[in-house]
Amino acid sequence: MAFDERAHVAAGPLLDTSQRREVIDFTMPFLNVHATILMRKPFIGSHVRIRSVEDLINQSAIRYGTLDKGIIPRSFKRTNDSNLKTIWRNMNHFRPSTMTNTNEEGIKRARQENYAFIIQDTIADYIAMQDPCDLITVDKFLFTKSYALALPKNSRWLEVINKGMKMLKHGDTLRTLYRKWWLDKSRCDTEKPSSRSFSLAATSSATDTYLSHMTTVCVCLWFCAFGIHWTAASSGQKCL
């Protein structure tokens, strides 16, 4: 990832990682990210109840996997946690393979098979709140990373934006944005999953919508943080 001479900031679902920090700077984080388990809601009378990573390990009815590339497999390879090492070892030994090339593939398998997909919780939480309302998320584990805005190295705007971000954190703006673009977008009844049919196209649409919403939040944060810095004296200034 790199900036050309015309770009001052990148707004999108960008994880702040050590590799990226070698070539760009990140603002203060605005949302924490973990790994979670995405799986079908348990049916009444089901003997398998997954409430944690430990439950996933101590059963054999549901297989589990994750993306074959990216931050989750890298984090599994580096972990010193014995339970997480066991999960990583099992995922690499399952046949047929439980690893996927895309999030869409993993979400489809979670809906159609006895399969649990390990995925970033920001994506999973959003997908679980969309039609057909048949999925749940379980536990948060493996890592704590952050979404942030990205700027060119040594950008003169970094300090300005961070001052605005601090003001957003002290107020209710971040919580309001999360509620608006995640919780208020829920289409699901909490009592039972929908019986409607499902297709891979619907999965792609949901994840594309998540990325669109995530980018919208990032852009809102950029304008809010920048604007608040310059209008801090005006107590009536609103971001939303």
**Same-domain status, 151 and 204:** yes
Structure-token pair, residue 165: 């971000």
CATH number at residue 58: 3.40.190.10
Closest-CA residue to 107 (of 96, 97, 118): 118
Number of helices followed by number of strands (H, E) in the chain:
9, 6
pLDDT of residue 5: 59
Give the pLDDT confidence of 145-164 residue by residue, as tens digits: 988 989 999 998 898 888 88
- Pairwise CA distance, residues 161 & 229, whole Å: 7
**Same-domain status, 119 and 38:** yes
**Same-domain status, 49 and 23:** no
> Residue 145 phi/psi, 5° resolution?
-115, 180
Give the pLDDT confidence of 109-141 residue by residue, as tens digits: 999 999 999 999 988 998 999 899 999 999 999
Structure-token pair, residue 49: 């109840």
Break the chain down into helix, strand, coil percent, rounded to 5: 45, 20, 40
Query: Residue 61's pLDDT band (boundaries 50, 70, 90)?
Result: very high
**Same-domain status, 198 and 152:** yes
**Same-domain status, 164 and 131:** no
Q: Is residue 66 included in any domain, yes or no?
A: yes
**Same-domain status, 137 and 42:** yes
Q: What is the pTM of this model?
A: 0.78
**Same-domain status, 62 and 141:** yes
Give the pLDDT confidence of 22-56 residue by residue, as tens digits: 999 999 888 889 999 999 999 766 778 999 999 99
Residue span of the structural domain in which 220 resides? 18-31+147-230
- Pairwise CA distance, residues 231 & 193, whole Å: 46
Closest-CA residue to 164 (of 219, 237, 238, 230): 230
Please, what is the end-to-end C-alpha distance for the chain in angstroms?
A: 30
Q: Which residue has the higher pLDDT, 6 or 94?
A: 94
pLDDT of residue 214: 59
Which helix (H) or strand (E) covers residue 237, if one does? none
**Same-domain status, 161 and 226:** yes
Determine contact, residues 40/111, Cβ cutoff 8 Å: yes
